A and B are shown apart, each in its own frame.
Chain A
Amino acid sequence: MKLKHIVTTGLSAAVVLTSLYAAQVAAQDEQFFPLLVYRTGPYAPNGIPAANGAVDYFKLINERDGGINGVKITWEECEFQYNTKQGVECYERLKNKGPTGATIVFPWSTGVTYQLIPKAAVDEIPLHSMGYGQTAAADGRVFKWAFNFPTTYWSQASALIRYVGAQEEGMENLAGKKIALVHHNSAYGKEPIPTLQVLSEKFGYDLTILAVDHPGQEQKATWLQIRRLKPDWIFMWGWGVMNQVAVKEAAAINFPMDHFIGVWWSGSEADVIPAGDAAIGYKAANFHGVGAGFAVHDDIVEHVYGGDAEAARANNLGEVLYNRGMTGSMFAVEAVRTAQAKYGNKSLTGAEARWGMENLDLTEERLAEIGLEGFTRPLKVSCEDHETMGPVFIQQWDGAKWNQVSEWIEPMRDVVRPMIEEAAAAFAAENNVTPRDCSMEG
């Protein structure tokens, strides 16, 4: 009887103490981010560096700055193997975690983005599909909760055409040229097609569209068609193993690699290293710096890895997709900082973070302050424009590393923005969304 009493009292005390501790922890200001990652599965070689970059930047902010204005960043990874269904499950599992729920969700997949756009609007959680996802989400009047800055697939497609025009010494010289698009046969891979078709009519080039089924391990038939077609330029909207095989197949038919340009998801180290020397000269678009030569990388080595540069490199520091993951986290941190200026330095809700996203004004000076001078272009998000239509540049593989080989290229806003507004209006009509009046937004 006595023993039972002692055990009961002990357990009660433990429960009370645990509750008190939990309450104290919850009372501390923290900003929770769910991280949908794919460190396993067929796309793991792409998912690992992106996830490492995203996490390292959060760690840096906590370690170096003590959080965002004193508010610690917390996060939880959820493995979804780049599978849309699992990605949605991850979102559902994590959306209510943290003191104020999810701050911003990064879907890291166009398929997942499409699924989450209606859900996030109901849950009042902002989505940031950085340079991927549904392009029409650039129209913030219709897509209040979705953001895709700094640029989209449609903008990128127009920038690629502008680049090819420059290489051909004038846009007028595009007439009669043959351009082939080799794309992943998915929602993601099909995104640039409308833009390339519109521009084909405008500039008179012949566009051939060739789809490659998931995963893209065997593409011989596609490249036989290309060999027969003899295009002047090839664009690739690929992902995962499809990229590596395509680079090899292009080399196998003696296609000039400097006329083969990948989307920014087809331009990582993992896409070219397996092809060896065959990949030399291959190009890809990008919207952020390459390599680990920026001040922020030095800070990461110092504060996250305790000065162990080797350990940082082993965790992909400076690789293209590492930098991309880092860029996504940087945008999120700056958006929260923007929102804190209005709502105070506390744990923000998704709605408050959304305001921060929509009012984000990342200037050249601010980029320099956070160690990212020249890393990406300044941007200013607005109620109407959730994309900002940022410029892109072309990088080229030299057999050992990627090098920036072009200036920043502006997308064709006059062509792309009307298309975005048209697509957004169609979405609004289809889904009974009343576009916002941005003049009424605070």
Chain B
Amino acid sequence: MPLFWKLLCGVWVAGVIVAAFLGVGPAVGFRAPEAARILFFHVPTAWLAVLGFVLSMLHGIHYLHRRQLEHDRCSAVAAELGFLFCLLATVTGAIFAHVQWGAAWNWDPRETSIVALLLIYGAYFALRSAIDDEERRAALSASYAILAVLPMLFLIFVLPRVVDSLHPSDTVQSGGMSPSYRLVFFAALFGFTLLFVWIYRLRVGVERLALRREG
């Protein structure tokens, strides 16, 4: 990644951290108004978990078309990063759920889907480690990554309509946030996405080196 973006990422995320704690006042309408600041970190991690998942699927499709091992490695790297952020989202979510709703786990639709995502990532890595042949591993894990998108679509889009959710999914769209919160919120999304891209490209660089050494 060019120097400018790396520096921007460092300064931007530092700025988001300062703004999240000092730039905005306590949130209104929460049981623990100060603790609501965790949302500036929780929501981006959840978004990156999904981003990693989608990236992994797209590289999987690419691999099945082109049959280049580099795409398979990209798919695995995206899944690794997605898994990391998925764990972070689960932990931060459980902490905040404990503070806000009284219990760390409620099987709310969003919580169900993050658990499904964790399990999918786990199954993906288990599948990868169980196949020795490199090209077969690439094709089969790509197929699984594509297949696993379907239940996620059900869990994210269909299930919340059938079961009531505790998560305020409309707050962001309908302007329930005050302008200063909204600003920090989207800045956090942008900053963490930059961080994701940086780490992703580093890992892909390492994988390229490994492929070169092997091939």
A binds B: no
**Measuring CB to CB, which residues of chain A are less than 8 angstroms from any residue of chain B?**
none
**Measuring CB to CB, which residues of chain B are less than 8 angstroms from any residue of chain A?**
none
